[in-house]
Structure 1
Amino acid sequence: MSDIGAYQATPAPYEAGFGDYVQLLKPRVMSLVVFTALVGLLVAPVSLHPVEAFAAILFIALGAGASGALNMWWDADIDAVMARTARRPVPSGRVQAGEALALGLGLSGISVVMLGLATNLMAAALLAFTIFFYAVVYSMWLKRLTPQNIVIGGAAGAFPPMIGWVAATGSVSIEAALMFALIFMWTPPHFWALALFMKADYHTAGVPMLTVTHGRRSTRRHVLVYTLLLVPVAVGAALTSLGGPLTLAVTVALNLWFVLGAYRIWRRDEAVAEADKYAVEKAFFRFSLLYLFLHFAAYLVEAALRSFGAGGW
């Protein structure tokens, strides 16, 4: 399954519990998917019935969980040798690889079919493509092939708000495309910041992360460049019907701070970074999560203000 040797699961210390199967679905990743998909659905110009909206978010969440289970099945060998992932259900032996595969495939089929029935076929097709892209294009191909794995593979995490928008409207718009682009451009600096202080894990696992193939100095330059490229996307989204004065103010403040953080990472000397245990890189990584959350929260607040006759352009 990979170039680092056949995966051997650790014998299960106990029978798998419900929590172990939940962990297969990558609940932390799922929470981000659910939030951005919900925002995409709620800020759309067409409103769904509350029951339809709940069903849409539920099945998008199940699709995200399916992707996570398939990823854990395929990546069990490299997860087993990375300190950050070694205790995941499959490499730790608590869940068998075949169970993870079956769960992933089953939830994939259920989520796609039910989203199509609950909303429309275009939303279902986008969800199916997202699962395929993450499980096959990213996990099985890009992740172990190229240091651009995060750049291209970031599309998988960028689709949820577009799926939410399409579930409500049945079509793609510039607003949906810009929400997609925001997450797509945010993903590389977010994960490269993580890679800067987790390089040893990726090196041990044989994953060609940029820090492994080009070194930390090159990765620092890439973080800065992609952060600068992210800024016009974020500002552009704030100038569409998604935004308004409040959103634009939030966007400008967040992006100034994000660029400052990327600049500090670019200026960092490796000896200094090692001495303080990559404190700046870890702070940037944590802030990147807040950065994305606050952008989408601003779109949601702006939509709520518009419903009361305020906000918007």
Structure 2
Amino acid sequence: MIENTATRHHQNFLQVIHSYYQLTKPRIIPLLLMTTASSMWIASQGNVNPVLLLVTVCGGTFAAASAQTINCIYDRDIDDQMERTRHRPLVSGRVQPSHALIFAIALASLSFTLLAVFVNLLSALLTMSGIVFYVGVYTHLLKRHNPANIVIGGAAGGIPALVGWAAVTDTLSWAAWLLFAIVFLWTPPHFWALALMIRDEYAKVGVPMLPVVAGNVAATRQIWVYSWLLIPTTFLLSYPLQVTGAVYTCIALILGGFFIKKAWVLLHNPDDKQLARSLFLYSIFYMMLLCAAIVVDSLPLTHQLIISILDLIQ
């Protein structure tokens, strides 16, 4: 029955490609890759090998696409009941679950091979651990059973930062784990803001997101707490680790100030979905700019410019 529906929906090969592309949830992947790239820039002190960057990003892309595809397979029953997900390829019948699983396995295999052969084994193993954690721990064990799903699941989102560092150095330093921690702490405010926006849909399908099981007030309090855990943590890259400099610190301070302000306003208006949406969108913008600040700060040109400015001042 699903096969006939898929045949009816796909009128040409390009539509088939588009359906499989949608399975990977492509809007999520770029943010993950930015953490990988920024980690590589710090680890290489602003002199990242472009070929290494390209191969690592491609490997990360395939791995993330594999994990998201398996997530779509697992969640197709609840996706069918939620407005924002009911048009996904598996729910609408444009792709069969068995075909999607083959696609996911192929992507994971390609990712591991690419990283193990052209980068190093550590980065390949970390990438596979990210898939296993996202699918096995977050999607299977936590998402439908525990309101701490997003908190613990945030570890999967932090793994790309570890992959980037390992790709350059073949080791994991304190700086790499701090980048992991930044993403880990960023994840709850980001996703709980989304959960506040679509609380009714999560309640409808029985997913115990924090706003559903504890209410909006408790959720906004937790967003406030995690925001205050996140922002100071970002400065640890500058001190005591000293892997970033003044440019990153200034940008992180400004971005963090706006993050705290938005969390504060939401704390006092927990039922305002527009404020929740504002924080959700800003959290994406925040992580993108923080990663960009890391890259700019690590460039040799930036260091030379700062030295020149200091010389002029003196």
Partner in structure 1 of residue 99 of structure 2: 99
Q: How far off its partner does 1:178 sit?
A: 1.2
Amino acid at match of 1:248: T
- In structure 1, distance between residues paired with 2:161 and 2:306: 21
- In structure 2, distance between residues paired with 1:250 and 1:9: 51
Q: How far off its partner does 1:179 sit?
A: 1.0
Amino acid at match of 1:99: H
Partner in structure 2 of residue 71 of structure 1: 71
- In structure 2, distance between residues paired with 1:218 and 1:48: 43
1:50 and 2:45 matched: no
Greater share of helix residues, 1 or 2?
Answer: 2
> What does the per-residue CA deviation read over 1:180-200, in whole Å, with 9 as the maximum and x for residues that have no partner?
111100000011011111001
Overall identity of the aligned pairs, in %: 34
- In structure 2, distance between residues paired with 1:311 and 1:159: 32
1:19 and 2:14 matched: no
Gaps of 5+ in 1: 1-7
* SS of alignment partner, residue 82 of structure 2: coil
Contact 1:238 1:251 in 2 (8 A): no
- Once the two structures are superposed, the pairs formed by residues 1-313 of structure 1 within 5 Å of their partners are 11-12=5-6, 13-15=8-10, 17-45=16-44, 49-239=49-239, 240-268=241-269, 270=271, 273=272, 278-305=273-300, 309-310=304-305
Amino acid at match of 2:55: A
Q: What's the Cα RMSD here? A: 1.9
- In structure 1, distance between residues paired with 2:129 and 2:192: 25
Q: How far off its partner does 1:50 sit?
A: 2.9
Contact 1:242 1:299 in 2 (8 A): no
Amino acid at match of 2:261: L
* SS of alignment partner, residue 85 of structure 2: coil
Contact 1:90 1:97 in 2 (8 A): yes
Q: How far off its partner does 1:10 sit?
A: 10
* SS of alignment partner, residue 43 of structure 1: helix
Gaps of 5+ in 2: 308-314
Q: Evaluate the alpha carbon distance shift between residue 291 and residue 9 of structure 1 in structure 2; reply closer, same or farther with a 3 A threshold.
A: farther
- In structure 2, distance between residues paired with 1:311 and 1:83: 50
- In structure 1, distance between residues paired with 2:3 and 2:216: 32
Q: How far off its partner does 1:9 sit?
A: 9.9
- In structure 1, distance between residues paired with 2:246 and 2:4: 55
Amino acid at match of 1:33: L
Instruction: Name which of structure 1's ranges 236-245 and 181-190 shifts more when overlaid on structure 2.
Output: 236-245
- Tell me the TM-score normalised to structure 2 length: 0.90
Amino acid at match of 1:68: Q
> What does the per-residue CA deviation read over 1:5-44, in whole Å, with 9 as the maximum and x for residues that have no partner?
xxx9994341251111111111111111222211212221
Q: How far off its partner does 1:122 sit?
A: 0.8
Amino acid at match of 1:27: P
Q: Evaluate the alpha carbon distance shift between residue 199 and residue 9 of structure 1 in structure 2; reply closer, same or farther with a 3 A threshold.
A: farther
User: Across the two proteins, how many residue pairs are aligned to each other?
Assistant: 299
